[in-house]
Structure 1
Amino acid sequence: MDLVLIRHPAVAIDAGVCYGRSDVALADAPLASVAALEGKLKLPAPDVVWSSPLTRCRSIAEPWAAQWARQVSVDPRLQEMDFGAWEQQRWDDIDRALLDDWAADLHHARAHGGESVAQFGARVATWFDERQTEAGDGCAHVVTHAGVIRVLASLALRVPLEQTLLWSIDFAGVVWLRRREPGVAWTLVRWNA
């Protein structure tokens, strides 16, 4: 099974703003973004296309899936982390002490009132666990967010999340994971392609 994780393209929001689960639009037209993705690398055709319900993902997933006459399966577990009161705030404007407290207990702190990293990871893991039980040589494309991709990579590759948080992933970046058969470890085919 191949799992092709596609980060949404750049969004129409100022750099340095926390937008996590906020539903923000793409900076460019979705079809232009899909055309740019097509030229990045040769990907296997999807048997299924999954998407976060947020506009920045769905607006890419729908024309992406249509190329292969596929429907998009939307799942709220593929949304980015909920940053609560920090949503739509400039990172530089958030109380430094709150940011430090969050960093000191990255997995469990919720200074913003949204999801903790542990809650976010558990949500994403439920989606991934369902994919783990699927047999066959199929290919799933998943249009989602950087945080979700890092959690999925951490789970699939069995590395600490702190490690995948250090791996950069560009807007419209692609992470390609492969598992030869159920129960067998996943391998990384491409990161940030």
Structure 2
Amino acid sequence: MEIYLVRHTETVCAKGICYGQADVEIAEPFLGQFEEIVKQLPENAVVYSSPLQRCMLLADYLAPSAFKTDKRLMEMDFGDWELKNWDEIPSEEIDPWMKDFVNVKVPGGESFVELYDRVLSFIEEKRSDTAFPLVIVTHAGVIRSFLCKQMNLDLKDAFSNKVDFGQVIKIIL
């Protein structure tokens, strides 16, 4: 099965702001980027998207009114840290997470392993769901999870996978 992992384009959030499931907008102009993304995708694909607007806008451009959303494709839930500057998160909260982001749960949010588990659930469900290629419009954390599974990479090494805004990554399951 061909899967095309597509990261949303750049958001309006300033550098240094923690955002995961906060429903932030994408920065304009974005139509030129959308057109470049389309060129990298097959025409007969089934399109899935995170339900966050920064992904759905692109998904709707790719498959107008014909894409499906799935909450398992949402970015990591950063809970109490959402929309805070990373530098302003209290050290007693962030230090344990920085030492073990895979297993330590963000206050009011989730751990990376919880994100990974929901992504695996989506993969397993869709593996036999369609004969068509899948296009998945989602977030860097979700894409890194897919890549960890695909490359048999330890979750602690997930950030070795660089994922740029608007990047398309093709994998074969």
Question: Shared fold by TM > 0.5?
Answer: yes
**Residues 111 and 78 from structure 1, CA distance in 2 versus in 1: closer, same or farther, beyond 3 angstroms?**
closer
Q: Deviations over 1:31-58 (max 9, x none)?
A: 343123235xx33224200000000000
The match for 1:156 is 150
**Paired position in structure 2 for 1:185:** none
Partner of 2:61: 63
**Aligned letter for 2:49?**
S
Matched length: 173
Match of residue 160 from structure 2: 166
**What amino acid sits opposite 1:7 in the alignment?**
R
Per-residue CA deviation, residues 3-40 of structure 1 (Å, 9 max, x unaligned), is 0000000001111100100000000155343123235x
CA deviation map 1:121-157 (0-9, x unaligned): 1111110111223464x21101000000000111223
- 1:143 is matched with 137
Determine if contact 2:17/2:83 at 8 Å carries over to the other structure. Answer: yes
Q: Deviations over 1:67-93 (max 9, x none)?
A: xxx710110110001001100000111
The equivalent residue for 1:43 is: 41
CA shift, 1:108, in A, is: 2.1
Q: Tell me how far 1:169 sits from its aligned partner.
A: 0.9
TM-score, scaled relative to structure 2: 0.91
TM-score by length of 1: 0.82
Moved over 4 A (4+): none
- Give 1:76-115 correspondences, 5 Å limit: 76-115=71-110
Percent identity of equivalent pairs: 34
